Amino acid sequence: MIRSIVNFICRSSGREADVSEETLKTRLDPSRMPRHVAIIMDGNGRWALRRGMPRAYGHRAGVESLRDIVRVSSEIGLKVLTVYAFSTENWKRPREEIDVLMNLLVEYLHKEIDELCRNNVKVRAIGKIEELPAHARRAVAIAHERTESCTGLIFNIALNYGGRMELVEAVRAISAKVARNELSPDDIGQEAISNHLYTAGQPDPDLLIRPSGDYRVSNFLLWQLAYTEFWLTDVMWPDFRRIHLLQALVDFQRRQRRFGGLN
């Protein structure tokens, strides 16, 4: 039953498939744009295997999708874009695949940093960055430094990220403040927890996009997704382009968000 409902959602989300990019842009209401869009970049490996290619081929193709989505997100004035690039569970993958992913991260940041700066995009990495390989940490640090003064799109790259670990880290930080008498237990509420997450100071995602046909959040932004709208599609991430993001945004603007109340 649940799968049938989700399949209906996926089909409904694709009803703009035959509409052009320019037409979709004209249908967007600037006053109702989501402030924060989160994307689980899924399906690279399966996309490659279906073509008889190694998984690395799919990961490299997925970088092209990322490049396109960051560009259009900046063009249309999104405030925050968060992409799930590497989870805390991804360390279970073969060493060769992990090396490919880390090298692609470094290559992407090296090649794109000048354009990101020109487009006023602020790059931020969220997760346990200190556990990444040295060359990946250096690339992230350079991207942070180069885009520090940018005031446009905030581009969060979730690296070595896990939603449960994020909450554990927040609890530890809050507990330490309580132990130092810097914070009273009575002051611990939702705002205090949000302020100790990797996304502190940013709005929660209004829209989560998951390509590839899977129906789970995969330990991504567990606290922040409490009232997020989901947009699901069978399109694999390497085939996901700006037209799909625009379809998702148009569909998002049709929805009524009640946050547990009534309109």
Catalytic residue IDs = 42, 90
One-letter amino acid of 139: A
Q: Which residues pair with 161 in a beta bridge?
A: 87
Task: List, in order, residues 6 or more apart from 110 with CB less than 8 Å away.
Answer: 139
Q: Which residues pair with 159 in a beta bridge?
A: 86
- DSSP state, 259? T
Q: How far apart are CA 263 and CA 98, in angstroms?
A: 47
Q: What angle, rounded to 10 degrees, do the helices at 242-254 and 55-75 form? A: 60
- DSSP state, 160? E
Q: How far apart are CA 214 and CA 7, in angstroms?
A: 10
Sign of CA dihedral 175, 199, 41, 30: positive
- DSSP state, 93? S
Task: List, in order, residues 6 or more apart from 232 with CB less than 8 Å away.
Answer: 6, 9, 10, 13, 209, 210, 213, 215
